Amino acid sequence: MTQPEEPVPRGALAGCLVADFSRVLAGPLATMVLGDLGATVVKVEHPRGDDTRQWGPPFKDGESTYFLSVNRNKRSFVLDLSAPEGAADARRLAQRATVLVENFRAGRLADFGLGYDQLAAVNPGLVYCSISGFGGAGTPGADLAGYDFVVQAMSGLMDVTGPPGGPPTKVGVAVVDVLTGLYAAIGILAALGARRDSGRGQLVEVNLMSSALASLVNQASAYLNTGAVPHAMGNRHPSIAPYETLATRSGVLALAAGNDRQFRALCRALGDEPLADDERFVSNRARVAHRDTLAALLEHRLASRSTAEWVEVLRAAGVPCGPVNDLAAAFGDARLLGADAVVEQPSTAGQVLTVASPLRLSGSPVRYSRPPPPLGHDTEEVAAWLRTPRPAAPLDPA
């Protein structure tokens, strides 16, 4: 389990001030990524708080575990934008910020003097990231509310997920929000890179619908290039076989033989190497054409041992495979495999556990200096800093 390091190392984005006007998941995930990389993140919250503070159960010592998942390395700054002083403080923050992230209804922040054009006029170096459901101001989708579940449905993702012939099925997490947050972080980092040369910021726009379509990769390419509309295939892959879950003597095994060499290694480990020379299975194209027959033959052989036994045998043979874990087993496997997957931080809600960043930077490692903040925890500190005339000392990310 990863512990916060002392002293906290200087992150890759040290000196970058992020004004986070986003809520729920996509935006907060993007800003947490920036915070992990060393940026100072000020999370601007309505007096009611981020919606996810109320999403539960489960709760950890009164805090929503949903909120805890994407809000470490941030300060909570409560502002009522409808109040003149609140809007004024928000503008002061935006004028000092390096990056601003927002996911308000299109055009809404301009009502408070916080639109991109308004801020770029006084802070030309600002990187302004706007996250929407279906497109920004001026597009037909600008007024549509963006919710991950709805976008999973509209993007076709639900139609290629779940059992064949079954009902449309969403992914078990808000994966479109996650992907959109990551795309937002990439766009912000690209704009910061361009800013080094030009000295100017820019507007970065990303929306859930476009992110979902981009995430369909091979499925989208199949439709665009052939006109074929893919549909749900359960755990099978449309273009590779065997690449699915198969029954063993006890449970199921996730098996992914992605090329002929791996398939031959699989047959050898199963004690039936001649199967690899069967004309029905001699190439991936042939195996895809005869996947039902192949699956039945493989399950007949896999029935001789447990999933755990087959994992040991097949991994030793170089065949990609694994058990189908629940989350408890998944974190257990990560620990056994040497992944520092969990961060433990002391907070007002007791010890808070979050999933560690997957990024590993040798020279400027990610840091975990602040647990997810209680609502308004840093309001006085940030307000006092904003009202100090320039030049003001920067807010310390630690």
Catalytic residues: 177
Residue 93 CA to residue 90 CA, distance in Å, equals 5
- 322 exposure class (CB count in 10 Å sphere: 0-12, 13-18, 19+): middle
User: Sign of torsion, CA 127 128 132 134?
Assistant: negative
User: Sign of torsion, CA 286 289 295 296?
Assistant: negative
Residue 66 CA to residue 68 CA, distance in Å, equals 5
Is 129 within 8 Å of 204 (Cβ atoms)? yes
Residue 8 CA to residue 385 CA, distance in Å, equals 22
Q: How far is C-alpha 129 from the chain's CA centre?
A: 16
- 296 exposure class (CB count in 10 Å sphere: 0-12, 13-18, 19+): exposed
Dihedral angle, C-alpha 81, 86, 87, 92, nearest 10 °: -140
Mind giving me the DSSP string for 280-337? TTSSHHHHHHTHHHHHHHHHHHHTTS-HHHHHHHHHHTT--EEE---HHHHHHHHHHT
Mind giving me the DSSP string for 130-166? EEESS--TTSTTTTS---HHHHHHHTSTGGGSSSTTS
- Residues with Cβ within 8 Å of residue 265, at least 6 apart in sequence: 257, 317, 318, 319
Quote the DSSP letter at residue 2.
Answer: B
C-alpha pair distances (Å), 322 with each of 110, 143, 229, 306? 51, 44, 30, 12
Instruction: Provide the residue count of the chain.
Output: 398
Question: Closest Cα to residue 71, out of 349, 360, 359?
Answer: 349
Angle CA 349–353–354, to nearest 5: 120
Place of tokens 């074929």: 228
Dihedral angle, C-alpha 103, 109, 114, 116, nearest 10 °: 60
